[in-house]
Chains A and B, each alone.
Chain A
């Protein structure tokens, strides 16, 4: 079980969260009309072995989406921040 540091609530069990998505993906602007751009955003992933920036949702807590940096090989967690406070 992962223990995830929520910037709002502190260190909490993985069971309070749901995994969201790769946080390096940038959702295209609403005005974007190129299906290729949307295809890459919706379907394509880097899926790295090692350090991974990812979104988690503190769904049974403060309901904030947080950005967690985690190693996908060792599950080591390096830190987290509130997504809304991360530079866009």
Chain B
């Protein structure tokens, strides 16, 4: 036998011939084919190997429920594993290869697992590989082999060359599924003017109608509907698009496969497009998936869903076999059987039901079909393909009541009823409701903003489906045109899908989950061992956990467990449906946000100067900041040491634009600052600035920075770069919730101001040159500010020092940052001015014992950091009560000290501190927070937090970096290493 392409019919473009490749063989196909239909037409029976036993597998389905035919698609950087052949549109030059098979698809060494399958029952892995010895070595040895055997496709390690994009969309109605019900809904909503998005995963609109024979009455209706959809400007139709997730507040995630049906995306086009749709209401018309039957050998290539056999026949003009046994428990399979017979196949129907509707029986007879009521397929035999089916008379429970008859055949088409595609509904609303008549779970037709229509709610006929869709779309009056069409949905169903011998056993392996090789016997074993909850069953046997997420297996597994437990199906429960409905490409969801675009990059307005002048830049949060400016190929150490010396001897400038800046304005601004800072701000005069410390509510240090009083009700607060956003949000929170009586506005002005620090003994001279202002100590003492003009740019000049030198910060309207920087550079030569970067800034501040992010690390208190003196005792402030909790007052807490490292080697930040003779064990007596070589002291120094630190000046301790294999000795000193009296900065 083979499947064959019929001479006529089908919804394929016979005027063009294309070639697709699978496993090194070429197959002729036509536009309109899928890879699956092309392979079927070309006689390819085995398309994949199963997960566990590596059994040869062929097509089961024609759509998203396909569980066997997973292939490698494309090559090289566009290689893609686990592509469902049924969902891959055929295009010329398509290359695909088998996966999970070695050395070949036809002969897979892994199939040896199948011979040993009796030992690989449910929970096999949990019971063995424990090993004869303690520890994990034995298991990990075995795990290596298991991992190789498991998995399905092979992934590429090359970066994806394709583009993806994201669209945010809004609509009144989102309609998922463009079958008859969905189309009717879209037309009704569109006609009344709603903004509609209609989503269809297929390349064409029509849903189940595409599997009707060409020339059916539905073709005319569909053509007319498509034309009207095209005409209505308020309807957006998205084909090749999957609504993969339904989320809160009527938000849906969609992926449109824009260019997956071609060899490679056209230039400028995305491969896929991710849509986030916000809708007022949703109509789900997602249809239903046919349910397989469970009998021995039901995984043999050639055993397919009846709906799939019908789709291949009518849509792709491929007759799957010549001798076909249709195994059913409901009416829906008869149409297909008759069509198959009329197309030239010899068809036998065995129907588990005793009573068959007279009309169906008559139709079957007149088509020459051998109809056997109260019969079922007990077993299928063959070798890499169906050879025969053994039919038995069965009871209404699916148990054999007599001997079997062998019927030679090449296809077994099975129909165990239909499972509505309720994934989206269930993602949103949870457990669906069991319908006894249909032996399946249904969503509620109306819930919240969702309406479900068509076979998703088990509508009895096409007419019903159209009416439901019409109504859901908001249609009134004229109902959609009807045409002669039989019921298509599994009515009169006998809820039996498992066929066994009289004793309840199966004469061979009967599969529930094909991809994961879960057999009926595995379900039985799980039951015996007490894994009876549906979630336990799923996890213990892995049924429903394969790449198809149980689209064809869940109901059968559940039904078997219900039978074993003697419970009704709803009492056994159902597993939870989770997004995505079908697997979605990670690149699509990422869209543009990868590589350098993962996060925004924040640049100061002086940034370009830095890079033009050879600065090495460093990531600081989202900012890029100058790290150091190497001269003549200097290393980082050489560069920062030179820069730091330069600042102490001459003058340097550094870009500090990244500092957080907040305008604090209003009559109660002083009171506000007084509450958020630990130190007093009420007495700060206009024209002055003050260093302040903020605590968190729990009393730990939060942030520090200087705040200047610009005017009576006008303050300019600076924060650390890292905490700028947090400080602002916190200030807004307090002002808008707890302190609503305070008349204060806070506004971020970080981006409005560039800032440059000018530091060094010659800084005053440089600034006097460029501003022509009197900046003498008397006129502008430390912690004062004034207004100056540099070039023609009005700036504010703060006198303050982070480096410990005579220093200033210039605040400049952001757009003029570079202009002022260049003016300083231009005025620099007489004073030997040079730029310096973060690394030198760090060295200078460590020499001064100033704290930064390494010390304010979220677990340190003011006391720990030697800042207790700043806390006002005269007023409450944020954190003032909780900072006094007993543990935080413990004198043994590590506190800030300086370390002078003994020897030539510098310490590493993150090293631990131990007393000289103490064993280097446990958590140590503290840790090193910041380190540098101090050019001023010509020593390696560090800041550290050491238990009872300030009591231990002069003591020598061990500084241990375990992972760096380094133990150093250091002398504990004050953290004010350099110019502790502050003569230089006050000079």
Contacts and interface: CB of A to CB of B under 8 A. Distances in A.
A and B touch in the complex (CB under 8 A): yes
A32 B882 CA distance: 11
Nearest 4 interchain pairs by C-beta: A27-B738, A3-B249, A65-B736, A75-B248
Interface string A44-88: 000000000001010100011100000000010100000110001
B1 interface: no
B248 A1 contact: yes
A22 to B, nearest CB: 11
A63 B732 contact: yes
Given A2-B249, A84-B740, A20 B733 contact: yes
B15 interface: no
Nearest to B877: A30
Contact of B733 (A2, A26, A38, A55): A55
Contacts of B250: 3
B92 interface: no
Given A18-B729, A35-B884, 10 more contacts: A1-B249, A30-B675, A32-B881, A33-B876, A33-B881, A55-B737, A63-B732, A83-B740, A84-B736, A88-B740
Nearest to B249: A3
Contacts of B247: 1
B602 to A, nearest CB: 15
B882 A38 contact: yes
A8 interface: no
Contacts of B876: 30-33
B278 interface: yes
Contact of B736 (A3, A64, A75): A64
A74 B18 CA distance: 51
5 contacts: A1-B248, A2-B249, A3-B278, A35-B881, A83-B736
A9 interface: no
B733 A57 contact: yes
B248 A2 contact: yes
A18 to B, nearest CB: 7
A65 B729 CA distance: 9
B882 A39 contact: yes
Contact of B729 (A38, A57, A83, A84): A57
Contacts of B881: 32-35, 38
Contacts of B248: 1-3, 75
Interface of B: 247-251, 276, 278, 675, 697-698, 729, 732-734, 736-738, 740, 876, 881-882, 884-885
A27 B675 CA distance: 13
A27 to B, nearest CB: 4
Contacts of A41: 697
Interface of A: 1-3, 13, 18, 20, 26-27, 30-35, 38-39, 41-43, 55, 57, 59, 63-65, 75, 77, 83-84, 88
A57 B732 contact: yes
B79 to A, nearest CB: 32
Given A1-B276, A30-B675, A88-B740, A65 B732 contact: yes
B251 A1 contact: yes
A7 to B, nearest CB: 12
A34 to B, nearest CB: 8
Nearest to A26: B738
Contacts of A13: 278
Contacts of A83: 736-737, 740
A19 to B, nearest CB: 11
B170 to A, nearest CB: 10
A75 to B, nearest CB: 4
B736 A42 contact: no
B729 A59 contact: yes
B697 A3 contact: no
B672 to A, nearest CB: 11
A30 B742 CA distance: 13
Nearest to A64: B736
A88 B741 CA distance: 10
B249 A75 contact: yes
A84 B741 CA distance: 10
Contacts of A33: 876, 881
A2 B885 CA distance: 39
Contacts of B732: 57, 63, 65
Contacts of B884: 35
Nearest to A1: B251
A31 B249 CA distance: 42
A65 B733 contact: yes
Contact of A27 (B278, B737, B882, B885): B737
A42 B729 contact: no
A77 B736 contact: no
Contacts of A34: 881
Contacts of A26: 738
Nearest to A32: B881
A84 B744 CA distance: 13
A54 B248 CA distance: 18
A61 B675 CA distance: 27
A56 to B, nearest CB: 11
A52 to B, nearest CB: 14
Nearest to B736: A65
Contacts of A39: 882
B420 to A, nearest CB: 23
A3 B251 CA distance: 8
B521 to A, nearest CB: 40
A20 B737 CA distance: 11
Given A38-B882, A77-B249, A65 B675 contact: no
Residue of A2, A3, A26, A38 with highest tally of chain B CB at under 10 A: A38
